[in-house]
Amino acid sequence: MLAVADGELKKLSVLFDRYNVRIYNFFNKMLQNKMVSEDLTQEVFIKVLKYRTSYKNGNFTSWIYTIARNIFSSYYQKQKKERSNIIEDDLLNSEEKLHTESNTEELEHLQKSLLQLNSSDRELIVMHRFQEIKYEQIAEIIGSSEGAVKVKVHRALKKLKDIYFQTVHN
């Protein structure tokens, strides 16, 4: 990234190759909308290019996820009124049938449960469990302490578990 910041823009393709799938998966887990996730992923790399000179040799993963998180937050605020309709429609259309029938049902139930969490809890679970980002990096991304992030992730997972099993038994 330092080379990109210094004007070697061709090096951005290396960063894109390393991070585009991870960033896309982050958005897709948060939104369950492939087209929007692709658009937001593209927007992240446009911002990386636009703000390349603001990168100061810190942890690149934290830096790019901070950009992604800010883009998600902006998108989320714009879509707040329509959010439930968008999520429900796209959830039905976006699942890929890669698993057996029972695994697919469990996965769909987990995704629906995940979508019932508030966006900050969902974001923490997606970053930690699906993106496998370490607590330390999440803390840097959201501007918190590592200990606080561990507690928040634990609480978010408990909420997810409660939602998941509550809807199974109803």
pTM above 0.75, yes or no: no
Which pLDDT does position 95 carry in this prediction?
44
Whether 163 and 139 map to the same domain: the answer is yes
Which pLDDT does position 131 carry in this prediction?
84
What tens-digit pLDDT sequence spans the chain (170 residues)?
Answer: 888 888 888 888 999 999 999 999 999 998 888 999 999 999 999 999 898 888 888 889 899 999 999 999 888 777 665 544 444 444 444 444 444 455 677 778 888 888 888 888 988 988 888 888 889 899 988 888 999 999 998 999 889 888 888 866 55
Distance (Å, whole) CA 9 – CA 140: 26
For helices 146-169 and 101-116, the axis angle rounded to 10 degrees is 120
Which pLDDT does position 83 carry in this prediction?
47
Domain with residue 107: its CATH number is: 1.10.10.10
Domain with residue 70: its CATH number is: 1.10.1740.10
- Which structural domain range is residue 82 located in? 1-94
